[in-house]
Amino acid sequence: MTPRKLLMFIASMTLGAAVAVPGVVSGNSEVMALSQNADNWVMWGRTYDGQRYSPLNEINKDNVGNLQVAWTFSTGVLRGHEGGPLVIGDTMWIHTPFPNKVFSINLADQSINWSYVPKQDAAATVPVMCCDTVYRGLAYADGKIFLQQADTTLVALDANTGEKLWSTVNGDPTKGSTNTNAPIVVGDKVYTGISGGEFGVRGFLAAYNINDGSLVWKAYSTGPDDEMLVDPENTMSMGKPVGKDSSLNTWKGDQWKIGGGTTWGWYTYDPELNLIYYGTGNPSTWNPVVRPGDNKWSMTLFARDADTGMAKWAYQMTPHDEWDYDGINENILADIEVNGEMRKVLVHFDRNGFGYTLDRVTGELLVAEKYDPATNWATHVDMETGRPSVVARYSTRWHGEDVNTTNVCPAALGSKDQQPAAFSPDTGLFYVPTNHVCMDYEPFYVEYVAGQPYVGATLSMFPAGRVLGDGTDNLGNFIAWDAAKGEIVWSIPEPFSVWSGALATGGGVVFYGTLEGYLVAVDANTGDELYRFKTPSGIIGNVNTWMHDGKQYIGILSGIGGWAGIGMAAGLEGDTDGLGAVGAYRGLSKHTQLGGVLTIFALPG
């Protein structure tokens, strides 16, 4: 599609949506219109709610077994490929890990319209990127592609030509700041976070104007109320105002200034409520002994006004985190029946092993249950206070520095890391790629030095079966979850962690990828396997689907890496290297090798 035709297509879609979205009071009308057309995949979760559901059904559970490779595209980069492409009309935009290349591809003949290769200082940036040089995706709005580079530079590119329209700096790699998150656009603002919790970076969410890159607001995760954009009397947590200095009161001295709470995950948005939802990461350092208190508001789910950034509610899942249970995982928005009442909910599968269902309007906690039976660091979540009941045996602070706390479940990479789940309104189930991994965790003292690792713990990881004593050695499961009851409906064991994002479709099929490189399709109701195909490298990308020229396609990025694959991606060998992951995933090298390839599938004919 020519640039002129692309602009005409987008304009027609936008005009058509003006009367197609009753009740919507905010959001970007163009993005909203494009996302309502299932032929497109216009943001990381396809729609603002992050459901990763497509109503397309040409590919369905009756014929998915006939899928064939339609075409492939090599990215030319050999590190971990997370995220997935954007598709609008006849054009696809695809990204890579560092150096964060962007390609515009003409779907009519798979030719490259343009490519953009940022100029970044690898020596300054790559060494401070935790857990591989991944990047999770692009954003689109107003004829622009938004790229959040690893060196923290946020860039707006002309979607038709690849010309750089503006750029702005979001952080400082010399002090440990980097970026790996996919931005999201609401109205005239593009939202992005920051990475670097393992370097003492203080987390925040920032909103920039999409037209010139000027900063509109920035909301920190820790610190004074005014810098966090928190109103002590009107920001709620568990039904009560958070109160004055709610963060400062939970840190020792000025530790909040290097307190982590970074925001490198996914962002979702409710247009009717005009609220942005996201999670904050672990407190710095990983050694909990030196930072007494709840360490608010790390490990927290936030709901913020998209225009002003003011926090409406906050819920801290893991107060005084002792295990690196980052809270950055996606927040899926859905309307489901809970206890006999239809509720507007937010569903979050946290690294800490608990699946949370909250009222997304008020932040009320409705359900909090373990979605991996191996989870043992806490017995349950108190539904009155929202606090987990920690088991002293697995408390790394209780044992103290230089003492190894053994057999903690889940491991630091969580029962699920950033790999996003999917929700099907057809079945009412959530489909969750999970890790089934436990760890030994030994804290040690570390001094903060800007730009240097600020971890303070040695980890080793292993299959959860070793702790459960059930004779199993699988490192992952793919599960279907009932968020109203907090129950696993079915579970599929996989040899390695399921590190890809899931996709649910109107054809009754759910897709996911495996670390060995298989694209897998299963029945959405039963979990029965319907299709499996080996791609060129291990999959940590997210499965997408779209329609082009009257035909449905499935796309997946393969390219082993990420935290689980960091040993292969970065050439690490020690069992405790890669923040503990290398030993657990050593067997991956027998099943796959490095590579960066987009593989596109379709039905024959």
Partner residues linked to 166 by β-bridges:
156
By annotation, the residues acting in catalysis are 324
Report the DSSP pairing between strands 139-141 and 111-116: unpaired
Round to whole Å and give the CA distance between 114 and 135.
20
Give backbone dihedrals phi and psi of 30, rounded to 5 degrees, phi first: -65, -50
Give, in degrees to the nearest 5, the angle at Cα 134 between 572 and 181: 140
**Sign (positive or negative) of CA dihedral 337, 414, 432, 474:** negative
Q: Which residue stretches of 479-595 are H helix?
A: 566-570, 581-584
Round to whole Å and give the CA distance between 223 and 259.
9
Round to whole Å and give the CA distance between 432 and 491.
9
Round to whole Å and give the CA distance between 125 and 166.
21
Q: Kindly report each contact of residues 108-115 with a partner whose C-beta sits within 8 Å and lies 24 or more positions away, as own/partner.
A: 108/1, 108/549, 110/71, 110/73, 113/160, 113/162, 114/161, 114/162, 115/162
Partner residues linked to 554 by β-bridges:
545, 601
The amino acid at 501: G
Which of 184, 253, 192 lies closest to 222, judged by CA?
253
Q: Estimate the crossing angle of helix 29-36 against helix 3-17, to 10 degrees.
A: 90
Quick check: bond before 280 cis, omega within 30? no
Q: Are 351 and 322 in contact (CB under 8 A)?
A: no
- Which residue is listed with tokens 């409406």? 312
Q: How far is CA 174 from CA 83, 126, 129, 132, 280, in A?
A: 26, 11, 11, 18, 22
The amino acid at 311: A
Which of 548, 537, 553 lies closest to 71, judged by CA?
553
Round to whole Å and give the CA distance between 233 and 225.
11
Region of 516 (left: φ > 0; alpha: ψ -120 to 50; beta: rest) is alpha
Round to whole Å and give the CA distance between 141 and 156.
10
Q: What DSSP letter does each residue of 332-372 carry, written as one string?
A: EEEEEEETTEEEEEEEEE-TTSEEEEEETTT--EEEEEESS
Give, in degrees to the nearest 5, the angle at Cα 57 between 51 and 63: 125
Q: Are 46 and 52 in contact (CB under 8 A)?
A: yes
Q: At a CB cut-off of 8 Å and minimum separation 6, what does 537 contact?
A: 81, 517, 558, 559, 560, 592, 593, 594, 595, 596, 597
Strand boundaries in 409-475, DSSP class E: 422-424, 429-435, 437-443, 457-463
